[in-house]
Structure formats: C-alpha cells, structure tokens
Amino acid sequence: MMQFTLDQVSHHYGSAQTLHSISVDVPSGQCLSVMGTNGAGKTTLLKCLMGIEPVSGGEIYLDGRPMTGVLPHARVRQGVGYVPQGRDIFSDLSVRENLAIAADHLPRSQHKGLYEQVHELFPVLHEMRGRRGGDLSGGQQQQLSIGRALMGAPSLLILDEPTEGIQPNVIQAIEDVVAQLKGSMSILLVEQYFDFAKAVGDQYLILARGRVVGQGDTENLAGDEAKTLFAM
C-alpha cells in the first residue's frame, strides 16, 4: 500500500488561485473522502495528484518520493489507479478489451488473477465481457471504469464522483466494493453524496473555494455540520 502526502499544495489557473495550501495524508489502507460543492476544487486536486495539472506551490509525495515532474502514465505504473469523473471508457472496445488495455504494463502472468478479481467484484462485467463499452448502461460503465483501474494492480485508488448519475442499486454495489478494497489498498474518494462518502470513508476532508474547511474522522462528522461547511 502507498502513502500519498500533500504538503501545502496550491494551484492556479492563470491568475486565479484554485487551491490554497492543501495539506493532508491519504491513510495507508484506508479511505479518505474529499467532499465539497461544485467548484470547491475537488477535481482540480485529483488532477494535481495525477500530474494532469501542475502544482504552483507545495509538493506531492508518493511513499516519500516527490512527484514533481512525474508524468501521469508513470504514476499509474508506480501503482496509482485513477477513475476520472465521467467514466472515460473506450466505447468502441469490448468490456474485456477495456480491461486488457489497462493491464498492458504488467506481466502477462498477472492478468488472469486481475480479471478474476474484477469479475468477482463486478459480476456484470463478466456477463457482458463481449459487449461494447458504449452499449453499457451508465452504472455498468462506471463499474467498468473502476474495474479498468483495478486491472493496473494499484496500491492507491483515486475515485472522482463515482456515484454521479448512478441508480441506487449500483451505488450500493460500488459502496460494497470500496468496503472490500479497503485494507488491501489506500483509496482517495471525491464525492458530493454525503451518505456514500461517510459510509466508505475513514477520514474526511471538506473543501470550499479551494480551501480546507474541515477534516477528521468520518465517524465524528454529522450531516448538518457537513452541510454547513459545504455552504462556506
């Protein structure tokens, strides 16, 4: 398992500052839920973690190693799995092909075990392995997107709004999967759905206008308190 540490991380879009000195650890083997309203800086924070956006101040560390200058694909090869907002699957490829591509950088000897793990977590992907990704429902595409990240054998899994536009039974299935994965990997979850974020998170971080306005153990976070912080 990996330790992701943010030390005073800031980010700018031109002259506009979007993140203000964010410091937090992603607990090893636990889930950190990052919450906040639209425009709070949550997705920008994830893009900085993945190297998609450059930080303008501070540093990001992976197992104590600074990540400045490390390209996104290199972070994936170092054990970071990323599920972006909007799923971003290959719609013209089959479910099995989507999964296979994600494991290309790993030895072939690992592929079978990874397929079995993903199919056990998401049985629908095994049932629909020959179907085009674009022909899946929104909830099935979300499961495929998570499954594809898991095919990279990550030690840290980053999820950006996995419940967005998803029906309740699929949300429950994803919640169950996240609960199963904790302990075997660290998880960083960005989420607006408070009940889901609290249910799966061990720690929480609340952002408002790019600043940390609350953090701690999720068991101590009440819904009314969260809503107040979201509105700041």
pTM: 0.91
Output the pLDDT for position 158. 95
User: Which residues contact residue 205 at a Cβ distance below 8 angstroms, ignoring those fewer than 6 apart?
Assistant: 24, 32, 33, 34, 35, 212, 214, 215
Domains of the chain (ranges; CATH) run 1-79+156-162+186-232 (3.40.50.300)
Residue range 128-146: mean pLDDT, rounded: 94
Rounded CA separation 41/211 (Å): 8
CB 96 within 8 A of CB 131: no
Rounded CA separation 21/65 (Å): 19
Residue range 144-154: mean pLDDT, rounded: 94
Residue 59 has pLDDT above 90, yes or no: yes
Residue 160 has pLDDT above 60, yes or no: yes
Q: What is the DSSP letter of 198?
A: H
User: Which residues contact residue 8 at a Cβ distance below 8 angstroms, ignoring those fewer than 6 apart?
Assistant: 21, 22, 23, 57, 58, 59
